[in-house]
Structure 1
């Protein structure tokens, strides 16, 4: 026969109150059979038994059962619950454990909510899986991950700024986080658990340990902030003006930045006070060490998590300046090389460069006319450009080089809308004006900086050939355009661009392999970083 569940509380002045199993069931909301089972497995013990063998439980037992129920609802197994409860059985201790369990439940609910909210930002199952794993970490697990990360990335390097920042990344979410803080916390977990940040942080920390000043750190830090603002502003002005970083036009921008950097504390090389190969090389070394996108993102996320404004990203400006430094390793170096190259006065183009220009303009014009607004959003082999952007650029190139031939800079900028309401008409107009300017008497022999006029026309021929190929590929047309001009262009392009850095921010991606027997224009496009379709 089972235990009686009808006898109530037993109490007198000399004993603490106790309850039978039925009363305990009502107090805890647990079924009687569950209480019996949990008693049998040692989760909670009755404080006494009656003469008839019925179990009696006291207030501490009830509190223990309530905590066990909470832990069970959190998904813990009975073994885990028993381990959690095997501590001093005083009511304050059990209550404290209950608080800890509730806090853990709140933390898990908050992170689960964050995961669900962040699902909309994840486009791959792998990214979502990693995010979910890091979100489910307990605070202790997250701290352990940070300690492992510290040991692997910093080791014994003396870089307290880095170490303090990494420790801060192990912090839990604020009690009432904003959406941005939640996203930052999740992304930090992804970064730290992933495999890209560690080597990048190690490289940055090693450079900082080797070059960091030990005196006047606060002053040096503020000076670095101001210097960064200066050079990024100058670079962004150059980008907005359409200045190509691996061209001679970038050299004055580089010179201005070097002039601001040389007297600053950022210049850690003693005695280095003049612009030249050494100065530009040292600045490039510093920039390369600092140009770690994952490390930059790490510090931005820490700012967001701490409720501070995140500094703007420097990736685009850093890529531009690094490319400009590589292409212009000394003042005037790129211009001098091109000047020596351009002193060759021969014209390798079939029937002359002017005839070649007219032919390529006509061919590209036919392609332009086949495009319609329905094609505008289609991506092209020219990275980052859609068909619409490419059409706009084709108009701009004609406008740019034609204006230079006229001796006046073009009106407007490269980011303006050059298509108007009729892209084909816009191209025809710009191409016609450019060709008219090129046909002026003496234009081919006139000097344009280090280049004769013939090279100005040649540049437009190359631009139209390559971007015509981009357009043909994007629209699905025959890409074997003007093979005689393509064969002529490849050695010309190699001669001009072979020494340029193929890095982010530069004009061209690294050369791509092209099969033997492919169209001549495929070889030109592949050399300039395009991947010809199979």
Structure 2
């Protein structure tokens, strides 16, 4: 194709990837005028016109409107600005479609009614402030009259969903379920009963006390992450890195009760971690047979959904109980 050549509309259409009718339409709309007309009045296009037709085709395939294309061709905007604006529009549409997909999936999974469809639509359309009010109302109701150590309620309330600006479908579906649950009277009553029965007893009050809670959710968190990092890196339980991480964790745990980290305490901690998998199975079996509110269906369900929404949910393999137990039984001298 030579710069000086002029091409009839059929050739221009073929070279630009458009139909003849589309080339004619853009000419009639004043977007891409023919370079000139021949003696018979037929439209002829040069290389530059064909290149602009290709640009128009590309932008239209990206759903750019004619007004935006006209501004670009007339010099009222740049290609970068036009594409940036269009990208913002596409991203907004993507978020909207993702929200709709989450609502549809939830409705199909639950066999939803018209009322549920309306509720789910309102849930995904909520602002951050509206979601905060829903969660506040839930905890205000659930924790009213709860007999637990001072400060424990504040820690319960601190576990809150924070839906990201660009959530995944899974996060939206988790928020739909959570938003529905926390407004359900039966779920609120079940959570309140579970918390009261669990944390009002002697052992529960110890767990809910400030020393244990501070270790679990503050000082102990980086220690646990160190242990998990060593495990994920494939470190043997007796390696120096694993031993250092596990020993620091045990020292922190022993500090909750003020006990020194003796070999006997190491063994007791190791025995405890060794039993966790079996204990979890026993708890699951007991919960399945229980008629009372249980963790996985009450507070545990709330926590699990919040972790999905916040992107902090652990994979099952992130809890290497047996590996930790073996590391705990290895004394620093042996390591």
Q: Report TM bin, short chain.
A: 0.3 to 0.5
User: With structure 1 as the length reference, what TM-score do the two structures score?
Assistant: 0.26
Structure with bigger helix share is: 2
In our comparison, the structure showing a higher alpha carbon Rg is 1
